[in-house]
């Protein structure tokens, strides 16, 4: 329903613009010249080209943002793996430290069998 309302509003706007901009103009595009085009077509064409260019720029920005997030995600995963390895090493060292604490120097008893 919202699409229909939006379509009607855009159509009404284009109809209003077309009623008052019927003057014939010529458009120069570098080496090419197109003559006797209604000004309405030039206005609508400019709006459409602007929308397409802005969409393409936004698409490039979205792709670069996606790549940046992907790179950061890989960095986080590698950092987490490094943290896990370091945690395992710390745990092994703590166990080794506890073994060294509980095994003191051997005492010899001269009266022992």
Residue 60 lies in a domain: yes
Quick: pLDDT tens for 56-85: 999 999 999 999 999 999 999 999 999 999
Residue 3 lies in a domain: no
Residue 44 lies in a domain: yes
List 27's β-bridge partners, or say none: 34
Q: Alpha-carbon distance 24 to 36, whole Å?
A: 5
Domain range for 42 = 16-96
DSSP H/E element including 35: strand 32-38
Q: Which of 49, 50, 48 is nearest to 10 (CA)?
A: 48
Number of domains in the chain: 1
pLDDT at 113 exceeding the cut of 90: no
Quick: pLDDT tens for 10-55: 889 888 888 888 889 998 888 889 888 988 888 889 989 999 999 9
Residue 50 lies in a domain: yes
């Amino acid at each position: 329903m919202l699409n229909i309302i939006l379509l009607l509003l855009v159509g009404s706007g284009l109809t209003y613009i077309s009623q008052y901009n019927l003057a014939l103009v010529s458009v120069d595009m570098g080496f090419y010249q197109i003559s006797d085009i209604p000004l309405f077509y030039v206005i609508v064409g400019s709006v459409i080209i602007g929308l397409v260019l802005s969409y393409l720029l936004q698409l490039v920005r979205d792709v670069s943002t996606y790549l940046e997030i992907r790179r950061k995600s890989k960095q986080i995963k590698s950092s987490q793996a490094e943290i896990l390895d370091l945690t395992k090493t710390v745990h092994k060292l703590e166990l080794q430290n506890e073994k060294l604490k509980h095994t003191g120097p051997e005492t010899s008893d001269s009266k022992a069998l």
